[in-house]
Amino acid sequence: MSFNFDEIDRRILKVLQRDGRISNIDLAKEVGLSPSPCLRRVRLLEEAGIIDRYVAVLDPTKVGAGLTVFARVWFKTQDAQVTLQFAEAVRRLPEVMECYLTTGECDAILRIVTADLHSYWRFQADHLTRIASVLNVKTDVPMETLKRSFELPLAL
Amino acid sequence: MSFNFDEIDRRILKVLQRDGRISNIDLAKEVGLSPSPCLRRVRLLEEAGIIDRYVAVLDPTKVGAGLTVFARVWFKTQDAQVTLQFAEAVRRLPEVMECYLTTGECDAILRIVTADLHSYWRFQADHLTRIASVLNVKTDVPMETLKRSFELPLAL
DNA sequence: GGATAGTTTGGCATATTATGCCGTAAATTG
DNA sequence: CAATTTACGGCATAATATGCCAAACTATCC
């Protein structure tokens, strides 16, 4: 019993991904409904978990998180114990915005935000490489951001 | 003349990063202000561009974007022309959520979302490798998501 | 094809929230 | 310590959200 959203739901999601704080009245106008059914659809999308949450997006450069880096991590071993330990450590580090386990070249990929290169080195030395699971870290430092989207593509 | 936010602003940002749609009345309670000055602070944070926007966060698995992959791209050449061409191509592809230029091992790092591995291969073959600037693509496919945060760490 | 059950919609009354204004308190400055 | 600036809280008003109900629409079955 999966939630099947139609064209109107798709438009609602599209608008809310651009402006999560649009008033229901304006949202209704944009999707061609009156406010009542529009709000009901939004509530259903929320209850179904399709809309997970609403967040404010801050400008990283203006809150001291201007540098995004990608770190590829190699574990000492690949057993569950080591992985779990790594997961818990990573969840406690607010600088780590995303963390994925891979089976490819490396064991984990992290997106990390800090103020600048200096504070990143400190972060890597003081926190990342000190996680017991970690054998090796290789860092890619972006020079420029070409794109940063918050809008998932909505297939229909 | 940079905007210097204080402890209360920091708390406001923290709350709004968790719940971008909290009512101003509840927000005021959480940060220990009455509604009027609280709303005024939020507006100032918005006008200063510290709060960039508000967005709805969707569950990727529920909207057909369950697979996140990282692609490292090598360009044919590193001149401005090729880079610009790549930037424009990438901005047109909704599957590309983030794209950064690097000076390290590769030339660009992309975070791409698709429904599954099959649709990723199609995307890579039909779109990514067809960008004229692209010489080579190496893909890291995460097996599991350990962490996904939308909350920038707020230094004070 | 028509009747019926189920679903979705739109309108309305009410509750909640946002907004703008103003007097007051607190902080800053010289 | 007085003057000035800044931020706060309260209040009236406007805008919005919410819940309810009747009507329109859809799908199904006979």
Residues B73 and B110 in one domain: yes
Which nucleotide has its C1' atom closest to residue A36's CA? C10
Minimum-distance CB partner of B57 among A48, A52, A68: A52
B148 interface with A at CB cutoff 8 Å = yes
Q: Quote the pLDDT of residue B125.
A: 97
- Average pLDDT of the residues in A42-49: 96
Residues B80 and B42 in one domain: no
Kindly tell me if the per-residue pLDDT of A59 is higher than 60.
yes
Residues B66 and B126 in one domain: yes
B1 interface with A at CB cutoff 8 Å = no
Among the listed residues B83, B135, B68, B106, the one whose alpha carbon sits nearest the alpha carbon of residue A139: B106
Residue B54 covered by a domain: no
Q: Quote the pLDDT of residue A105.
A: 87
* List of residues 6+ apart from A79 with CB closer than 8 A: none
A5 phi and psi angles, rounded to 5 deg: -95, 145
Residue B99 covered by a domain: yes
Q: Which two tokens stand for residue A95?
A: 């600088």
Q: Quote the pLDDT of residue B2.
A: 67
Residues B82 and B36 in one domain: no
Q: How far is A33 from chain B (nearest CA, A)?
A: 20
The C-alpha atoms of residue B33 and residue B81 are separated, in whole angstroms, by 52
B4 interface with A at CB cutoff 8 Å = no
Residues A102 and A127 in one domain: yes
The C-alpha atoms of residue A13 and residue B64 are separated, in whole angstroms, by 13
Residues B77 and B133 in one domain: yes
Tell me the β-bridge partners of A54. B56
Tens-digit pLDDT profile for residues A108-155: 999 999 999 999 999 999 999 999 999 999 999 999 999 999 999 997
Residue A81 covered by a domain: yes
* Residue A58 to residue B48, Cβ atoms within 8 A: no
Residue B153 covered by a domain: no
The C-alpha atoms of residue A67 and residue A64 are separated, in whole angstroms, by 8
Domain count, chain A: 2
CATH number of the domain where residue A80 is located:
3.30.70.920
In chain B, residues 41-80 whose CB comes closer than 8 Å to chain A: 48-60, 62-65, 68, 70, 72
Residues B64 and B124 in one domain: yes
Which nucleotide has its C1' atom closest to residue A38's CA? C9
Identify whether the C-beta of residue B102 lies closer than 8 Å to the C-beta of residue A140: yes
With distances taken from each CA to the C1' atom of nucleotide D7, the closest residue turns out to be B37
User: Domain containing B123: what range?
Assistant: 60-140
Whole-number mean pLDDT of chain A? 95
> Please, what is the angle between helix A24-31 and helix A35-47, to 10°?
100
Q: Is the CB of A36 under 7 A from strand C?
A: yes
Among residues of chain A, what percentage have pLDDT more than 90?
94
Q: Which two tokens stand for residue A131?
A: 């996680």
- Average pLDDT of the residues in A48-67: 96
Q: Quote the pLDDT of residue B112.
A: 98
Minimum-distance CB partner of A17 among B55, B143, B149: B55
Residues A136 and A77 in one domain: yes
What does the DSSP assignment read for chain A? Answer: ------HHHHHHHHHHHH-TT--HHHHHHHHT--HHHHHHHHHHHHHTTSEEEEEEEE-GGGGT--EEEEEEEEES--SHHHHHHHHHHHHH-TTEEEEEEESSSSSEEEEEEESSHHHHHHHIIIIITTSTTEEEEEEE-EEEEEEE--------
The C-alpha atoms of residue A42 and residue B61 are separated, in whole angstroms, by 18
Residue A2 covered by a domain: no
Residues B78 and B110 in one domain: yes
Q: How far is A32 from chain B (nearest CA, A)?
A: 20
Residues B31 and B78 in one domain: no
Minimum-distance CB partner of B102 among A50, A143, A155: A143
Residues A136 and A104 in one domain: yes
Residue A54 covered by a domain: no
Residue B152 covered by a domain: no
B155 interface with A at CB cutoff 8 Å = yes
Residue B15 covered by a domain: yes
Which nucleotide has its C1' atom closest to residue B23's CA? C17
Residues A65 and A112 in one domain: yes
Mean pLDDT per 10-residue segment, chain B (156 residues): 84 98 98 97 96 98 95 95 96 97 93 96 97 95 96 88
Q: Give the pLDDT band of residue A103 (cuts 50, 70, 90).
A: confident
Q: Quote the pLDDT of residue A79.
A: 93
Q: Quote the pLDDT of residue A155.
A: 79
